[in-house]
Amino acid sequence: TKCRKSDAVFWRKDGTPFHVAYVAKPIFHLGELAGAVVTFRDITWQREADKKLKEAYRKVEHANRDLQAASEVKNQFVAKMSHEIRTPLNSIVGMTGLLLNTRLDEEQTDFAETIRLSSESLLEIVNDILDFSKIEAKKMDLETQPFDLRHCVEGAVELVAPAAARKKLDLVYLIVEPLHKWWIGDATRIRQILVNLLTNAVKFTDSGEVNLTVTSHPLDTGRHTICFCVSDTGIGIPQEMIGRLFQSFSQVDVSVSRRFGGTGLGLAINKQLCELMGGEMSVESAGVPGKGAVFRFSVPLEPDYSLRHLIEHAETTSMVAGKRTLVADMNATSREMLVQQLKSLG
C-alpha cells in the first residue's frame, strides 16, 4: 500500500542476467488497492562501475601499504648511511683543523682550508638528511632535561661568531629580563634551530648586523612560551617567495642555491623540530635589500626551580653585585645587551 523502491536480477531471452532497479507505486480505486505502476531501470552499468571502483580502492590500499613499507625501508637506509658517512667526516673536519694549526706554507694552508670548508659543508648536508629522515620516519626523539638558557643561546652565537667576524658584521644577542635561568626541555634542538637561523642571517647579510632577542611569556599552565627572534640587515625575502621557505628542498630561487649552496632542508627541519616541541615558527620580510628578514620561533618550556641552580646563580651574582660599570660600544643593541646582563647580575 506504499511506494516501494528496490532492485532485482532479471533474465534476458538469451539467459544472461542483468540488474534492475524498480519503483512500484500503488493505484487505489474507491479506497481499495486496484493495481500498481512499476517503473524499471537497467542498472547493470552502475553495478559494474561499483565493482570496478571497489577493486580500484583495494588496489590503492595495497599500493599505499607497499609505499609505506618502501618509505620505511628508505628512511632506515638513509638514516643508517648518513650516520656511517658522518662518522668519518667528523674525523676529516677535526684532523684538518689540527693540520691548520701546524707549520704550513701559504699554498698548503690554502689547500687545507679548502678541505676543511668542503668537509664542513658536506657534514652540514649529511646532518640535514639525517634529521629529515628521522622526522619523516617519526623517530626523532626529544630530550627533557634541565638546561641553562643563557648558555644555550651563547653556545649558538659562539658557533656563528667567526663567520660574522669574517664579514665584519655585528652579531648581538639580548635576553630580555626578567627571564628565568634554568628550563626543562631539549637544549640541543633549540641550539640547532638557533644556529641554523643565525647562520642563514649571516650568510645573507653583507653589511650591518644580526640580532637575536629572547623573551618569555607566562602561560596559565605554569609553563612559559620562550620566544626567539633573529633579525638581520641582509638581502631580504620577496613576499611571493615566503610561502616556499619552509618547504623541503626549497629555496627562494635557483640563484640563491648557486651562490650560497645548501640543501633547502634547514628551515623545513627547523619548523618541524619547533612543532615537535609544541611551538611554531614564522618569518617576516619586506623583500628590500638592507631591510633583511625577521625569523621568529617559540617553544613552551617549564621552569626548573632546582635548589642547586638557584644557589649557583646566587653565587655568580654575589661576585659582581653592587659594582659600577661603564659600558661603551658603537652598536646600540650590543650596549643594551651588556646593560641587561649586568643588571641581571646585580
Q: Give me the tens of pLDDT residue by residue for the chain, a chain 346 residues long.
A: 677 778 888 888 898 888 888 888 888 888 888 888 888 888 888 888 888 888 888 888 888 888 877 777 776 776 677 667 777 888 888 888 889 889 989 899 999 888 888 888 788 777 777 777 777 767 778 888 989 898 899 989 998 998 899 899 999 998 887 777 889 999 989 999 999 999 999 999 999 999 999 999 988 888 899 999 999 999 888 887 887 787 765 555 555 554 555 556 788 888 999 999 999 999 998 888 878 899 999 999 998 877 666 666 666 667 778 888 899 988 887 888 888 878 877 8
pLDDT at 121: 77
pLDDT at 255: 52
pLDDT at 86: 75
Q: Give 59's DSSP letter.
A: H
C-alpha cell read off for 200 = 642563514
| Dihedral over Cα of 234, 239, 241, 247: its sign | positive
How far, in Å, CA of 248 to CA of 297, rounded?
18
> 198 and 161 in contact (C-beta within 8 Å)?
no
Q: φ, ψ for residue 220 (rounded to 5)? A: -65, -20
How far, in Å, CA of 154 to CA of 283, rounded?
22
End-to-end CA distance of the chain: 94
> 181 and 150 in contact (C-beta within 8 Å)?
yes
What letters, b where the CB count within 10 A reaches 16 and e where it falls short, cover 31-66?
eeeeeeeeeeeebeeeeeeeeeeeeeeeeeeeeeee
Residue 24's CB is within 10 A of a number of other CB atoms, namely: 14
pLDDT at 228: 96
pLDDT at 213: 92
Query: Which bin fits 15, alpha (ψ -120 to 50), beta or left (φ > 0)?
Result: left
Q: Which long-range contacts (CB under 8 A, 24 or more apart) does 71-76 make?
A: 71/136, 72/137, 75/133, 75/134, 75/136, 75/137, 75/139, 76/137
> 201 and 266 in contact (C-beta within 8 Å)?
no
